Amino acid sequence: MDYIEAHKKWFIRHAVEELRREWRDIINQSLTRRERTLVSEPTLVIHADMTQWGRWRGGDLRQLELHERLLLEHPWYAVADVLRHEIAHQLRECLYPNSTEPPHGPLFRQLCERLGANPAASGHYPTIDQQMRPDDAAAEDDPRSALMTRVQKLLTLAERAESHEAEAALAKARSLMARHDLDEGVLQGEGHGFVSVCLSQEASLHRPWEESALGNLLQDFWGVKTLWVYEPFWDANHSQFQLGWNLEISGRLERVRVASYVYDYLRSYISRSWEALPTRMRGGQRKRRDYALGVIHGFRTVLERQDAQEDTAAVIKKGEAGLEDYFAARHPNVRATRQNLKRNQEQYAAGQAAGQKVRIAPGLEDGQSSSGPRLLN
């Protein structure tokens, strides 16, 4: 037990250093030079007995506090989400010391918008990773949960059916999302703002081409923005944090939920269909990468056909209002780049063919599913 406790303290100590770096990055990116002179770096404190995920204690104390469980039990993007919220509280005090507004008043919400922060990411509010797992019990009353339940059923059916029905199920899920967005009350309602999450459980030292292609697919067809971001991850072999890459998606919560399911499902589909190839075609990571790129391109072709036949793209585009501003506030220094890649054509063509062989399986239409939803871990 002493060893475990010592290891936990060592982890938290290093996590605090990463939080300090995160704080500095946010301040340097978001504030003007004059504003930065008004804001001092706070003392970061980790508590085990807090009743909130985080809190700002200003005045002479100037202390930013986070719950220990947030660091130990939740992914880094959820920690950073709460941190941004508390930084907004700090900025409200430092930049507007004479304000008489309540703590979560209009001025605070404006600062959250400026930082790309979640105005509700504290107190007893579920962390962003918890919100990514919809509450089945609330599905009947919450349109977002109802949408996710239907998407889960579609993907579960496709997983159990013939091999090339994944794209059909995902295209159907996209139509469901567009239909969901037609309800302006859903788009404009309280609590339906923008969020950002990372798709992998842990950052890695590399940015695989196929992961980038998946991110581009999500961005082009699912109403989200994607970006490779630096994220600290715990290197257990060396008992320290390292900086790695993770693919972040941003958008409305319901869209981010659906896009993350699409991401998980396509990765699983690529793995299954790769293993089904003849042995002579399966050799080495580069061939597998090129096969994956082919599958993704094939699926892109399916979605382009869908857009030519339906008004899905226009509806989804309409629901993106405000996303560009949110993304720019969160990542003010981002510039678009493009690189070329040499491919193994045989594997790429095989993947492209697999991605275009679409058959609508019986039971993929509304109300015809008898299987229950399956939550992805």
**Has residue 304 got a pLDDT over 80?**
yes
Count of Cβ atoms closer than 10 Å to residue 299 Cβ: 27
Residue-level pLDDT at 276: 86
Region 48-58 average pLDDT = 93
- As separate numbers, helices (DSSP H) first and strands (DSSP E) second, the chain gives 15, 6
Residue-level pLDDT at 172: 76
> What tokens were used for 306?
């869908």
Q: pLDDT over 70 for what percent of the chain?
A: 75
Q: Which CATH number fits domain 2-127: 3.30.2010.10, 3.30.2350.10, 3.40.50.300, 3.30.1180.10?
A: 3.30.2010.10
Q: How sure is the predictor about 293, in pLDDT bands with cuts at 50, 70 and 90?
A: very high
Q: How sure is the predictor about 5, in pLDDT bands with cuts at 50, 70 and 90?
A: confident
Highest mean predicted confidence (pLDDT) among 54-58, 161-165, 220-224, 307-311? 54-58
**In this predicted model, which residue has the larger pLDDT, 355 or 238?**
238
Region 344-349 average pLDDT = 56
| Residue showing tokens 């002479």 | 60
Strand 43-47 relative to strand 240-252: parallel, antiparallel, unpaired? unpaired
Sorted by sequence, the CB contacts under 8 Å of residue 278 that are 6+ apart come out as none
Region 217-237 average pLDDT = 91
For residue 295, how far is the Cα from the chain centroid? 22
Region 319-335 average pLDDT = 85
SS3 339: coil
Tell me the average pLDDT of the chain: 80
SS3 206: coil
Residue-level pLDDT at 14: 92
Strands annotated E in the chain: 43-47, 54-57, 63-67, 194-198, 225-235, 240-252
Distance CA 261, CA 60 (A): 46
The residue ranges of every structural domain in the chain are: 2-127, 132-356
